Amino acid sequence: MKISARNGIKGTVESVKLGEVMASIKIKVEDPTLITAAITRESAEDLELSGGDEVKAVIKSTEIMVAK
């Protein structure tokens, strides 16, 4: 996948908590550092995120996104 954002940090999904509208994704980037990303539930389901997945936390000036 190619994206224009240049601030990406590789990590592993620690947990996915789905709410009615939003999802909280905890990503371990370096032991013991975790990043928490808030994305829509629909995006989390579309990406089929689950614990152990290798992902990239893509950081923009106003938000952190998740790419798989």
One digit per residue, the tens of pLDDT, for the chain of length 68 reads 777 667 788 999 999 999 999 999 999 998 889 999 999 999 999 999 999 999 999 887 777 777 88
Q: 8-67, what's its fold?
A: OB fold (Dihydrolipoamide Acetyltransferase, E2P) (2.40.50)
- β-strand pairing of 54-59 with 64-67: antiparallel
What's the confidence (pLDDT) of residue 62? 74
Contacts of 7 (CB under 8 A, 6+ apart): 58, 59, 60
- 31 and 15 Cβ atoms separated by less than 8 Å: no
